[in-house]
Structure 1
Amino acid sequence: MTHFSRKPIAGALAVAAALLSLAGCGSSSPAASPGPAAQARTAPPAVVDKADWPAAVPQQGLAKGMVLPMEAYEESYPDSVVIQKALNKLTVACLSGYGFTYAPPEPGTAPPPDYDPSNMERRYGISDPAKAAVYGYHLAHGTPASPTMAPMSVDEQTALYGQPFHSATGTPAPAPTEVAGKAVPAGGCMQSAYDRLGGFVDTSVPDKLDAQSIETSQADPRVQAALARWSACMARSGYHFSVPDDAPNAGGTMAAPTAGAKEIKIAVADVHCKAQSALVSTWYQVEKAVQQHQVDQNLAALDKVKRQLADQVRVATAIAQ
């Protein structure tokens, strides 16, 4: 059973986010010699109001008010935004010292579907009847588009990452020790920015436990019984699925950019049958107990992550202002 989870912007996967931000890096230094393609940079995305950011706790639907214990140890979306803002500010300042300009996408302009990796609203599949009736299995805000990529010079890559990459393979190339006569720190401006925030925060413990708990709880007889009731209810509507994960791709409906009539009909029946079978409430209660046991058994490690995240957010908030 999957639950449409995401990884936060900050942390180890910020490297991937930064890779998408390369379109914002240009040069004012002759040494970089950007080509014509480097002049066409990413257009700024439309700003999304904070009111449209995902809520910390589901506000409506079958998962309304549900919070799992592990969420207290996971990075939230607002935290990831302030961390990325600080990283961007530090990276822009660092690169300017090498004669480069850098304009990464503004964090928080295209929010993800969930507040944190637990993704309660969709943890057990879609759970909001109102959204199902309009969006089917699709996200209300759609899928954010990736920034337009633009080529970077060897010097730009070296200053940003500490080493250039072969354009064809993406593998690291031999790293120069300096750019424009100035030494490059290990890991480049990106690593330097993370160092200012205290380095990467390893969230593998809560991430692993969060993934384990949904699998463990799914195997519980009470959840299996609820899944059987949900499946029987769907069959009465003419849909034959064993688990909710099977429903979104019925007929290839998720390949379309928006929900069609067929997808919406299935989605509405899905949420109705979840209500009839008490699937969401049953699964939540079982998993909540599983996670509480996990927290009790791993409290020291989880508290360490929680403190590190709080420290990083505190430092990032001061820098991002």
Structure 2
Amino acid sequence: MATWRLPLEAYTPAAADIKKVGAARDVLIDSCMASAGYPDWTPAPDLPQLDGVSPMDSRYGVHKAELAAKRGYHPDEAIQKEYDAAVSVGAVDSSGADQKVLMKCARDVDAKAPQLKKSASASQVDADSFRQSLKDPAVVDVFARWSSCMKSKGYNYATPKDAHDDPQFIDKNVVTDLEIKTAVADVACRKEHRVEKVWFDVETRLQQQAIKTDQLTLEDLKKTNRESLIKSTSILSDVENHN
């Protein structure tokens, strides 16, 4: 699944691109703060991806047997701890920097730094394809087969989303034996009936149809974001060359 790509991903920034543009912004703010007399100020660390390394890791829910057997529907424990630590560090600036100066630097940088643009059209396609896929006959059928498989193992859920979103499994600090057993059964039933592949194929078709109706707008978005990424790469390269 890590290699699967929905059609819309060709028009939306990848996680690595978002990180690079954010890093370029941080570099410019860092330079501004140093010039303002706060050389010890550093940007908060990037937050680790709790939902996996690819969009497919989170879009359709749990699908890795090994992780399910350890953490149920929760993220990997080490990544969760890293995430919590990064949040803690980001919330406390120990450099002693004047926050008014920081806000001014941020405003000045935001006025000129490369930025990735969001598109209402792309967001709508993304949301609509997921919502519509849940009603597609192929997905409804595979969900029913998954549900029957789960019931044979002692679990009563109509869809994979119902299992993943079970209120019993929401507490981020608690992973129960029941959650682990449920997630393991979930993954096994998904694999037996190829749930993710059926779901992915339906969404692929829905997105391809939607993209055709607004392709020019999406192509412009792709071009604009590509230019921002090139500028960000240049900013980061300049910093590396001066270090």
Runs of 4+ in 1 over 4 A off after TM superposition: none
Cα RMSD of the aligned pairs, angstroms, is: 2.4
Counterpart in the other structure of 1:98:
36
TM-superposed CA distance for 1:258, in Å, is 5.6
Name the CA distance, whole Å, in 2 between partners of 1:270 and 1:250.
Answer: 12
Per-residue CA deviation, residues 237-293 of structure 1 (Å, 9 max, x unaligned), is 111112212213546233153633221110111011112333211111111000111
Equivalent residue for 1:226, pick from 121, 142, 166: 142
Query: Which structure 1 residue ranges, 5 or more long, are not aligned?
Result: 1-56, 59-64, 162-187
Residue 129, structure 1, aligned to residue 71, structure 2 = no
Name the CA distance, whole Å, in 2 between partners of 1:320 and 1:111.
Answer: 22
Name the CA distance, whole Å, in 1 between partners of 2:115 and 2:58.
Answer: 31
Residue 82, structure 1, aligned to residue 24, structure 2 = no
Residue correspondences, number? 228
Q: Is the 8 A contact 1:227 1:242 kept in 2?
A: yes
Per-residue CA deviation, residues 61-115 of structure 1 (Å, 9 max, x unaligned), is xxxx3211011112212112211111111001112333234211233x6234345
Counterpart in the other structure of 2:49:
111
Return closer, same or farther for 1:106/1:318 CA change in 2, 3 Å cut-off: farther
Per-residue CA deviation, residues 168-196 of structure 1 (Å, 9 max, x unaligned), is xxxxxxxxxxxxxxxxxxxx322332333
Residue 243, structure 1, aligned to residue 159, structure 2 = yes
Aligned positions of 1:149-228 closer than 5 A: 149-150=91-92, 156-161=98-103, 188-199=104-115, 201-228=117-144
Determine helix, strand or coil for the equivalent of 1:209.
helix
Name the CA distance, whole Å, in 2 between partners of 1:315 and 1:115.
Answer: 25
Equivalent residue for 1:147, pick from 57, 81, 88: 88
Return closer, same or farther for 1:137/1:81 CA change in 2, 3 Å cut-off: same
Return closer, same or farther for 1:278/1:151 CA change in 2, 3 Å cut-off: closer
Counterpart in the other structure of 1:295:
211
Tell me the TM-score normalised to structure 2 length.
0.83
Determine helix, strand or coil for the equivalent of 2:62.
coil
Q: Is the 8 A contact 1:135 1:258 kept in 2?
A: no
Tell me the TM-score normalised to structure 1 length.
0.64
Name the CA distance, whole Å, in 2 between partners of 1:69 and 1:245.
Answer: 23
Q: Is the 8 A contact 2:50 2:80 kept in 1?
A: no
Counterpart in the other structure of 2:235:
319
When structure 1 is superposed on structure 2, of 287-296 and 269-278 the one drifting more is 269-278
Name the CA distance, whole Å, in 2 between partners of 1:249 and 1:220.
Answer: 21
Name the CA distance, whole Å, in 1 between partners of 2:110 and 2:172.
Answer: 38
- The one-letter code of the counterpart of 2:18 is S
Whose helix fraction is larger, Structure 1's or Structure 2's? 2
Q: Is the 8 A contact 2:50 2:75 kept in 1?
A: no
- The one-letter code of the counterpart of 2:123 is D
- The one-letter code of the counterpart of 2:74 is H
Per-residue CA deviation, residues 7-53 of structure 1 (Å, 9 max, x unaligned), is xxxxxxxxxxxxxxxxxxxxxxxxxxxxxxxxxxxxxxxxxxxxxxx
Aligned positions of 1:54-69 closer than 5 A: 58=2, 65-69=3-7
Identical amino acids, percent of aligned pairs: 26
Return closer, same or farther for 1:253/1:217 CA change in 2, 3 Å cut-off: closer
TM-superposed CA distance for 1:213, in Å, is 0.6
